[in-house]
Amino acid sequence: MRGPIDDKFDRIDFARDLRGVVVVFNLDDVREVTSAGVNEWLRAIADAKAAYAAFLRCRPAVVSRFNDVPGFGGGGQIISFYLPYECPRCRTTFQTLHDMRRPHAWVGALAPPPANCPACHRPALFDGLPEMYLAYLAKAATPDPPALAEELIEEAEARERRIAAAAAKKAAQKAAGGQKKAEGAEGRTT
């Protein structure tokens, strides 16, 4: 799924395709869920009647909805989710990804794990109330996706790895290009 879940969410189309199927939602790109979006989503998920549903890479905006809105997952399972952090020193904000198929004692303890700032490598602070993100997960059963869902999860993760690799390559090329430009500029001044 791409973009926010808001009043433009098409629940009729959404539900029509899902009856009786195994479905894995990759929510990596869903960074906002509006109140209007919640209402549409709840009706869609109730109408969908999937055989099995799983939610992959839930952003904090989505995880917090699982916590506030009863039935938000419609019986589907959260496979993986992000937690939000902020660096107190350089103010970098970032999110860490966690897989619910492995047990994490800190989920039950409502105590997010320590994380270091990717920019300055110092310890970062959890950016929010832990129970807003972890209360639902602490009570949820360990996900047990059927084989077909596991395959879909692996496909989605492979796609995410390709996207991340392409982004890293682009960033490296941009940095190298910038470097060349800087060298060129230096060449002209000397």
- Residue 34 interacts with Zn ion (CB under 5 A): yes or no: no
Residue ranges in 50-89 that form contacts with Zn ion under rule CB under 5 A: 87, 89
Nearer to Zn ion, 89 or 161 (CB): 89
Nearest approach, Cβ of 88 to Zn ion (angstroms)? Answer: 8
Q: 46 is written with which tokens?
A: 């109730």
> In the stretch 98-117, what mask flags binding to Zn ion with x, by CB under 5 A?
-------------------x
| Cβ atoms of 14 and 48 closer than 8 Å | yes
Exactly one of 51, 119, 166, 185 binds Zn ion (CB under 5 A); that residue is 119
- Residue 123 interacts with Zn ion (CB under 5 A): yes or no: no
User: What is the rounded CA–CA span in Å between residue 82 and residue 133?
Assistant: 9
Q: Which of 60, 62, 24 is nearest to 158 (CA)?
A: 24
Applying CB under 5 A, the site for Zn ion has a residue count of: 7
Pairing of strands 80-86, 52-56: unpaired
Nearer to Zn ion, 39 or 92 (CB): 92
User: What is the rounded CA–CA span in Å between residue 55 and residue 101?
Assistant: 12
- Residue 92 interacts with Zn ion (CB under 5 A): yes or no: yes
Nearest approach, Cβ of 118 to Zn ion (angstroms)? Answer: 8
User: What is the rounded CA–CA span in Å between residue 47 and residue 13?
Assistant: 11
- Residue 175 interacts with Zn ion (CB under 5 A): yes or no: no
Determine which helix (DSSP H) or strand (DSSP E) holds 63, and give its type and residue range.
Answer: helix 60-68
Nearer to Zn ion, 127 or 160 (CB): 127
Nearer to Zn ion, 89 or 180 (CB): 89
CA 149 to chain centre: 17
116: amino acid identity, one letter: N
Nearer to Zn ion, 89 or 101 (CB): 89
User: What is the rounded CA–CA span in Å between residue 97 and residue 160?
Assistant: 12
- Residue 163 interacts with Zn ion (CB under 5 A): yes or no: no
User: What is the rounded CA–CA span in Å between residue 53 and residue 14?
Assistant: 13
Nearer to Zn ion, 45 or 87 (CB): 87
Residues lying near Zn ion in the complex (CB under 5 A): 87, 89-90, 92, 117, 119-120
